[in-house]
Amino acid sequence: MGTRLGLKLWSVVGILGVGGALTLAVRHHTAHGAEHATRSASAAAPQALSMWGDSARSYGIDFSTRVATSTGQLMTGFQLSGPLALSARHTANGVVVDAQFAGSLRSDTSAPGTDPDTAAQQLSAAAHRPFQLQFDEHGTLVFARGEPGTPPFIGRIWTALGEYLQLSSSPGGARWQARENDASGAYSAQYDDAGNGQISKRKLRYDSLVTQSLKSYEVVTSSARFELESDELKSVELSEDLRATFNEGAPLPGFEGVTKLRLSRRSDSAASVAPLVSAVPFDQLARQERDAAIDQQLMNKMTLAEALTEVQAFEQIGHDKAKNDAAGRAFSTLTALLRRDPSALAAVRQRLAKDGPLAGTLLAALRDASTPETQKLLSELAGPKSPLGDVSRLEAARSLSLVMTPTTDTVGTLEQLRTDPLVGVQATYGLGTALGRLGKSDPETATQIRQTLTTQLSGTSDAGSQAAVLTSFGNAGDPATLDVIRAYVVNPEPRVRAAAAQALRHIPGQDADALLVRLCADANEDVRYSALDAVGERTPSQVLIATVASLIVAESALRPRVKAVNIAARWYPSAPDLRPSLQLVASNDTNADLRNIAKVALERS
C-alpha cells in the first residue's frame, strides 16, 4: 500500500490529518443529559479549566495507535513513551497548555532501507520540540500548534492527544452526553461522574465525518477514565477501537484502528517547559507538507519560462478546452514556482513593473502563492508608491485582501491603506477577510483587527464608510461582532441597513437569523434584497424557511422575489415545508420565469 493512501486512511481514525481535514477550530458541544439541560460557560468551567491547575507538572505518558486493513495487513502506527511536562496558563477564553515530551517515539512503518533504530532516534528528537494545546472554556480543543519545522507526523500525534484530553463538564447530574469533534468528524460521547474525581467517558458513535469516501465508521469499543485530584488532572486512561468500511471502488474494503493512552502524574510533579518562541498550527504543517509535494510535481513538468509563456493564454480563455487546460496548468505551475523559487518572484516583479496586459494574472498568482514574500510584493504594489496604474493597483489591493494566510505585516499594510482614496474601501474589506481567516489560528491578531474595524465603524457617521466596515464584517463571519452589527440593523440609512444584512451572512446562530428576518421585512426594497441575499448563504433554519416561504408569494418587488424563489428552489429538497408556497408560485406568479423555476424545483423532488 502506498504511503499517501496509508496516511490518508490514518487521518480518519483521528491521528493523522491530510489536506486540511483537521477541523480543530470548529467545536460545538451540545450537552444533553437526562433532562436535556443546556450547558452554560459558567457551568462548564469547574472541571474543564481547573483540571489543568496553574503550574507546570510532570506526567508519564504511554500512547500508541495501530492501524491495519480489514484483512490484517499493517498500515501504520506508533508507540510513544516517557515523561511529558505540562504547564497551564489560564486566559479569558480558556486555557493554554504548554507541553514538552522527553521520551522515545517509534513508528511501526519506516521508509525502505532506513535503520529502525536511527529512524526512532530521529522521530524522538523531533517529538522533543515544545508544543502547545489550547482549550476553550468548555474543555474543547481549539488548536494544537508547535515550532515551525515540526514534522507533520509529530504534529498529528500531539493534535490527537489534545483531542483525547477534551473533557466536557456536566450541565448537572452524574450522567450527561456531549457532541464533540476530532480529526475524523463529529461524535456523540457519554460521561459518567462516579464522584471522588472519577469521570468516565465513552464515545458512542460518529454523527458526521470529514471524509466522503467512508461507507461506515463504527465505534467498536471506547473507554476513557479521567482521574482528578483536588480538581486537577491526575491521570487519564483510554482505550479505543474504531472500524471503517469504504464505499465501493475504494482501494481496500476497510481498516481498523486501535489506540491506547495512559497519562499519569509522576511523583516528581514539578516540571519545566520550554516556551514557544513562535508557533504554527499543526494542521498548517500537514497542509504545507501536502502542498510542497504537489508544487514539486508541477515544477518538474514546466520551467519558469514555459509557465510565463503558457500563462498568457489565461487572459484569453475561450472555447478551446485544450488551450484552457494548458493555461490552467501553467498558472498552477507559476503559483508553485512563486512559493518555492526566488527567481520566479524576481521575474514576476520585473514584469509587473511594466504593468502589461498580463498584470491581472500575475497578481492572482501572487495571491494564490500566499507566502510572506509574495504578500510583501503585493503590499508594495498596492501602496501609494506602486508602479502600477490605478486599475492594476486596485487589483493588487484586492489580491492582497484575499491571500489565504495573511501575515501580521499584511494586516498592518491593510490597516494603513484604509485611508487611501483609491484602495481604502478594498483594504477595509480585506481586513474583514483576514479577521475570518485568522480568528482561530492567530486569535491575538484577530482581536486587533476586530478592534480596528469596530473603532473605524464607531468613528464615522458617513453612510458609505459605515457600509464598508459592515460589509467587511460580512467577510469575517465573526460571532464577536454580532452586538456591534445589531445597532446598525435599525440605522435610518437604507444603505447601512443593507450592509448590516451582509454583515450577518456568515455569523451562525438564531440571533443572526432573527435579525435577518427583521431586515427581510424592511420597508426598503434594496434592504430586503440584501437580507435575502445573506439568507441564501446560510444553512436553512425553521425561521428562515418560514420567512422565505412567505416572501416568495407576498413580496411585490420583482428583484427580491426572484432571490426568494431561487433560495426556495435550492432549499426545497431538504425543506418540504416550502412546497405549498412553491406550488402557489408555480401556478400564480405573474413572472413566467419564476413559475418555471418553481415547477422545476417541485418536479425535481
User: How many percent of the chain have pLDDT more than 90?
Assistant: 63
Under the banding of pLDDT at 50, 70 and 90, the label for residue 289 is confident
Amino acid at position 410, single letter? T
3-class DSSP state for residue 177?
strand
pLDDT of residue 112: 63
pLDDT of residue 585: 96
Grid cell locating 450: 476586530
Cα separation, 466 vs 460, in Å, equals 7
> How many CA atoms does the CB half-sphere of 548 hold within 13 Å?
33
CB 122 within 8 Å of CB 151: no
Under the banding of pLDDT at 50, 70 and 90, the label for residue 113 is low
Per-residue model confidence as pLDDT tens digits over 259-286? 999 999 998 666 778 778 778 888 877 7
Which residues fall within 8 angstroms of residue 72, CB to CB, at 6 or more apart?
A: none
pLDDT of residue 487: 96
Query: Which residues in 288-375 belong to E strands, given as ranges?
Result: none
Grid cell locating 224: 476513557
Cα separation, 106 vs 126, in Å, equals 11
| Residue 7 in this model has a pLDDT that exceeds 50 | no
**Backbone angles phi and psi of 285, in degrees to 5:** -65, -40
Q: Provide the 8-state DSSP code for 574.
A: G
Q: Provide the 8-state DSSP code for 552.
A: H
Per-residue model confidence as pLDDT tens digits over 510-543? 999 999 999 999 999 999 999 999 999 998 999 9
| Residue 320 in this model has a pLDDT that exceeds 60 | yes
The reported pTM is 0.66
Phi-psi domain of 590 (left: phi exceeds 0; alpha: psi -120 through 50; beta: other): alpha
Per-residue model confidence as pLDDT tens digits over 454-500? 999 999 999 999 999 999 999 999 999 999 999 999 999 999 999 99
Q: What angle do CA 446, 185, 225 make, to 5 degrees?
A: 100
pLDDT of residue 8: 40
Per-residue model confidence as pLDDT tens digits over 162-173? 999 999 877 778
Q: What is the mean pLDDT of the chain?
A: 86
